[in-house]
Chains A and B, each alone.
Chain A
C-alpha cells in the first residue's frame, strides 16, 4: 500500500489476450504499484480455449500468462505486488499447476501463494440447470436454449468480486480466475483494501468505473485516442494505474517515465467504449450510473474521478454461451494502377460467376474494396479514378457445410493467372476456413453458481 493506508495502486497490464507482452513487465518495473491486474478473456477466447482443452486436458488457459509470471513473479513477491488475472480461461486449475511448476523452478517454493477460482464453468451443468428450471433463454431474442443445445462450445457465468476478495483474504500473491467480469479484476482489490461493505453501492460503482478504465489497457492512456494522436509516444506507452482512495474517489495515472498520456479526453474515450445505456452499467456486484462520473485534470497525466453513484446489484449473473454457427472464409487479391478499382470489381464478378458455375450457394457473400471505402462505404465520398492499388476482399459464410467454404477458398487463387491484370499480394496462400462461433447471452440466478477458491503455497 502507498501513502500509508490511504491509496491503493491498481495497475492494468493487459487489455486482451494478445496485448503488448512488455506492458505488465513495465508496470512492475517502472514505479510503485500494489496490484497488477490483467484481462485475457474476450468472448471468443472462451470457445477457443474450450477447444484446446478438448484436444489436451492440460490446456485451455491463456498460455502467455505463465512465461510472463516467469519474468515478474520474483519481483512481485519481493515488492509485495499482488497479481490478479482471468488467465485461467476454461481450465484455471491447469493454469495454476503450470504457475506452480514455473515458480518452483524459479526457486519460489514455499514463498509464493497461488489462489485459483473455479465454478464459473457451466458447460457440464447445462442439462442439470435446464432440469432445475433455469431456462438460459437468449437475452437478445428470448429464444429457448434448445435452439442451439447440440452446438454449444462453452458456457461460463461472469463471476464478480467475492471469490477474488476471498483469495486475497487468504493471502494469495497471485489470483488466477476463469470467467470473471473484466471490471471485478480491478475493483475486487479496492473492496478488499478499503474494506468496503458489499452494499455500499456508490463505492462499488466507483470501483466499477475504475475497472472499466483499466480493462482495455492503453485505450485509457492514449491508445486509439482521437485527440492529437500525432503527439502520443506509443512505443513505450504507459498502461493505466488507478490510485484508489477509501472514499471511493480515485485518480487515473500512469508511470511518469513511460509514454502515452492521461487526460480527461483519453479517460472519457475509454469510459464510452462498448457503452450501452450509461444509466445502468450492470455488474454482479452493483449497477453503476455512468451519468454521475465527474472528471478533473489535477495535474499532467493525473485525472481525478469522483461523484460516482450506483445502486443495488441484481439477483442474477450473466452467462456467456458460445455455439458453433457454421464456417466462413475471407479471400483477398490486390490490383495496381491503372484502373485498380475496376480490376478488383471485375475480379469480384469473376469469382461470383465461377461459384455460380459450380452451383455453390452461401448464406452470405460479402465484397469490400480495401483502399476504396471498405470501412466507411459510401460515407467515404467519391473515389478518385487514379487509386494506386485496391484490394478485393471477398468473404463467404455457410451455416453447415465446411466443404463449400473450402471450395470457395480455392477459387481465389485462380485469379492469379485467369483474371484481370496486375493481380498481386497473394503471398499468404489460400484463405483459411474458420469455424464461426456465435454468442448466446443468458441470465442465471446467483444461487445456482457457487464459486470455489483454493489458495496454496507453491510446492
Chain B
C-alpha cells in the first residue's frame, strides 16, 4: 500500500553551512526496515529537486531506528548568507515527510496505531 512517510516516521532537520540535515525516525521498530529500503539517498535527491543542488548522503542509525540525510548545497549559501525563509532547514524534515512510499499491506493496522510505546 502507498502511504505518506508522515504515517510511519517523524523527522528533525537543521543546518550546517549550506548543507541541510534531516534525521528521519521510524515511529515503530516495524517501520524501520521499510524506511531503510524506501527512502534512499537517490529518492531524497529527486524529492528535493529544485531545492537540493548538491549530492545527498545517507547514514543509518539502526540503534535509534533512524536515518540521517545530508543535503548539500540546499540553503542558498547557508544560514547568514541565504535570502530564503527557511535558511536553516527547519522545515526540511516536514518536507521529506510528504514523500509517498510503498509499505507491506500487513503494516496497515500498525500505521493506524501511530507512535510506538513511550513515543
Contact = CB atoms under 8 A, between A and B. Distances in A.
A374 interface: yes
B50 interface: yes
A244 to B, nearest CB: 20
A40 to B, nearest CB: 17
Given A366-B83, A379-B95, A397-B83, A272 B63 contact: no
A317 to B, nearest CB: 18
Contact of A377 (B50, B62, B65, B93): B50
Contact of A366 (B63, B64, B76): B76
B85 A272 contact: no
A376 B83 CA distance: 15
A271 B64 contact: yes
B34 interface: no
Interface residues of A, number: 54
A375 interface: yes
A169 interface: no
Interface in A339-395: 364, 366, 368, 370, 374-379, 393, 395
Given A228-B115, A268-B64, A325 B81 contact: yes
Contact of A272 (B64, B83, B91, B117): B64
A441 B64 CA distance: 29
Nearest to B11: A226
A145 interface: no
B118 A297 contact: yes
Given A279-B59, A292-B63, A265 B83 contact: no
29 contacts: A226-B97, A227-B10, A227-B115, A264-B118, A265-B10, A265-B25, A265-B115, A268-B25, A273-B14, A274-B14, A274-B16, A276-B21, A278-B61, A290-B61, A291-B60, A291-B62, A292-B63, A294-B63, A295-B64, A297-B117, A368-B84, A370-B85, A375-B86, A376-B91, A377-B50, A378-B49, A379-B47, A379-B48, A397-B83
The 6 closest A-B pairs by CB, nearest first: A272-B23, A395-B83, A297-B118, A226-B10, A366-B83, A265-B119
Given A375-B95, A378-B49, A439-B78, 7 more contacts: A140-B17, A265-B10, A269-B10, A274-B16, A330-B83, A364-B83, A375-B94
Interface of A: 43-44, 140, 219, 224-228, 263-265, 268-279, 290-295, 297, 307, 325, 328, 330, 364, 366, 368, 370, 374-379, 393, 395-397, 436-439, 441
